[in-house]
Amino acid sequence: MVSRPAAGGGRWVEVDPERLGRWLSGFVERHGDVEARPLPDGLELAAADGEVAECRLLVGAAFDLPGLVAEALRPRRLGLLLVRRGGFGVGIAEGPELIGSKVGSRYVQSRTAAGGWSQQRFARRRDNQARAAAGETADTVLRLLAPEAKALDALVTGGDRRLVDDVLADPRLAALRELRVDRFLDVPDPKLAVLKAAVTAARKVRIRLP
């Protein structure tokens, strides 16, 4: 189970769908009976001792604890797009399994502190590299994900947010932009193993605790 600070206070814990029922049972045992309040993407649990847990699903909604577990476990067909300066990963997941993928390497230089003409030449070269990388990645997304757009429940992205935005700015990917969810994955340069791990990360239920 992953735990990390939450913006504005508290912390997020991330729970695998298969372990969510056990986590919820433990929460009730520790804090007493809970009142479940529907959220657009899950439930807020208000316990008898005052403890509150916001349970956020990647996709779906629920009205009670059994419904939350059922939605978390429901097999979802996800598109994945991971982009960093070192490369990209594009995939399709069915439930916990990665059923289609393509990864590629493409180097984009980082920024430099040099000034004058050197900095300008460097900036132009970097921009050209970034445009070429975005175009290559967009072509891969078009081939792999665009034909599946109507069958996908969501598009999960990660890596470098600006580079991901550059790829999805391609007019050909408009249908996929509409499927993009807020959850953004922090990943290293995408390799096949990273793409597989992203499927696991995307499926987790995010729970905010005080």
Q: Which pTM does this prediction carry?
A: 0.87
pLDDT band at 4, cuts 50/70/90? Answer: confident
Domains contained in the chain, CATH given: 2-74 (no CATH), 77-202 (3.30.420.60)
- Contacts (Cβ under 8 Å, ≥6 apart) of 96: 199, 200, 203
What angle do helix axes 17-31 and 65-73 make, rounded to 10 degrees?
A: 160
- pLDDT value of residue 6: 87
- pLDDT value of residue 71: 97
What are the tokens at 176? Answer: 């996929």
CB under 8 Å, gap of 24 or more: what pairs does 113-121 form? none
- pLDDT value of residue 72: 97
What are the tokens at 187? Answer: 């990943």
To 5 degrees, how large is the angle CA 147–CA 149–CA 155? 130
| CA–CA separation, 89 and 43 (whole Å) | 32
When pLDDT is averaged across residues 49-61 and rounded to a whole number, the result is 96
Q: Which residue has the higher pLDDT, 7 or 55?
A: 55
- Of the chain, the percentage scoring pLDDT greater than 90 comes to 79
Q: What is the pLDDT of residues 65-120, one digit of tens each?
A: 999 999 999 999 999 999 998 899 999 999 999 999 999 986 555 554 454 445 65
pLDDT band at 64, cuts 50/70/90? Answer: very high
Whether the pLDDT of residue 128 is over 60: the answer is: no
- Contacts (Cβ under 8 Å, ≥6 apart) of 164: 81, 82, 83, 157, 158
Q: What is the CA radius of gyration of the chain?
A: 20
Residue type, 166: D
